[in-house]
Amino acid sequence: MTSSSTPPTASSDEPARHRPLRRITARGRDEAHRVASPLELFFDLCFVVAVAQAGVQLVHSVAEGHPGEGILNYAMVFFAIWWAWMNFTWFASAYDNDDVLYRVVTLVQIAGVLVLAAGISRAFEDHEFLAVWLGYLIMRLAMSAQWLRVAWSSEGAERTTALRYAGGVLLCQVGWLGLLVLPEGGRAWVFLVMAILEMCVPIYAEKDHPTSWHPHHISERYGLFTIIVLGETIASATIAVKSGVDENDALGELLPIAAGGLLIIFAAWWIYFVVPIHGHLRSNRQSFLWGYGHYLIFASAAAIGAGLEVAVEQAVGEAHISTLAASAAVTLPTALYLLTVWVLHARFYKVGTAQQLVLPTAALLVILCTFLGDWAVLAAGIVSALTVVTGVTLTARMVAGERRAGGTGEAGEAGEDHGQRAATPEV
């Protein structure tokens, strides 16, 4: 497998990096200064359009008193968005050659997610998944084309891996036809089976030859998408509060929701980015669990924004649900976010029982805030903020104790192992 960052040149007169079309060869895992490209950033922004549409429809379903149906449709649609995004992200980390054809195929994937986004409302309201399936089909055909390019440009085990990917993607797409042809009652089972099969494709494809994804690049890509989703959450909550104030003159009722929501989102950002994660991504086994687990991080982060909108609508009398249900729409995804971030990477950097228990305890307290009525969202925001304060305080005391003892100790060694300073604030 070629591990250089640029493919071999066809001639000394025309460097490969200047050619509009060239072979796709694997990039090295040890490339220096590997960062997200402008195309990848554009890709993320377009995908968040679909995330926003899913959030809007989740708000409508919950506010109208159909939370079970809304959550199921949200889980299905969000899986399609997240899975297509994730497959491209890991592929690009290993094989981004940035030639004309690569860019065009990536833009086709963007077109596919926009088609999917256009069909989300019909999927929620009329249980019609044709547009969603068509958008997903466009994205997956484009992804298969990328893998076929890799197969054409490589040989041996690497070629086998690429062909397994291409074949697995196409076979799974056939299975998703079940959403169109089976009765409505069987769609949940189609989703469950096909989601499992989709997630098995990378495991099977890479069992003999792992792709050369870049740990720093992957962690940055996931972090950037988390930022964009949290930004969308802030935007949706802001619009909801503004509408409530303009149309109902309910500033007093909405201020606690706005303040609590802002504290939750700020804490969500802090908790996710408190430590670098690339040092933990050292093997495919670790990376699969970490990458797949982000489905819950992304979905819960986006659902927090939807929950804040529901809370606003309930506060101004536009939602047909109880205060308890509106509060749960915020607190439950917040608790899920805290727990998932802890499970996937925060717990690997904790030292001692106190630090390990901060996030799980905070998640439990946030759930209990559900029963505080009109003050539930503000209370959940305060708990989230205190979680950050507690984590920073515990770490400061630990570092101070190490300095007095004159050694780095276990925490200092862990910080060095993962490329971070011992003084980095943790939660």
Per domain, the residue ranges of the chain are 35-213, 216-417
Per-residue pLDDT of the chain (427 residues; tens, 9 = 90+): 333 334 443 334 345 555 777 788 888 888 888 889 999 999 999 999 999 999 999 999 999 888 888 999 999 999 999 999 999 999 999 999 888 999 999 999 999 999 999 999 999 988 889 999 999 999 999 999 999 999 999 889 999 999 999 999 999 999 999 989 888 888 889 999 999 999 999 999 998 888 988 888 998 999 999 999 999 899 888 888 888 777 777 777 888 999 999 999 999 999 998 877 776 776 656 788 888 999 999 999 999 999 999 999 898 888 889 999 999 999 999 999 999 999 887 676 666 677 788 899 999 999 999 999 989 999 999 999 999 998 888 877 776 777 777 654 444 444 444 444 433 444 5
Sorted by sequence, the CB contacts under 8 Å of residue 88 that are 6+ apart come out as: 43, 106, 109, 143
CA distance linking residue 1 with residue 161, whole number of Å: 12
Tell me 11's DSSP state: B
Sorted by sequence, the CB contacts under 8 Å of residue 188 that are 6+ apart come out as: 72
Which pair of structure tokens corresponds to residue 250? 């309910």
Length of the chain: 427
CA distance linking residue 286 with residue 140, whole number of Å: 25
376-405 and 251-273 helices, crossing angle to 10°: 30
Which pair of structure tokens corresponds to residue 347? 């717990």
Task: Enter the CATH code of domain 216-417.
Answer: 1.20.1410
Contact 210, 284 (CB under 8 A): yes
> Is residue 352 helix, strand or coil?
coil
CA distance linking residue 360 with residue 342, whole number of Å: 8
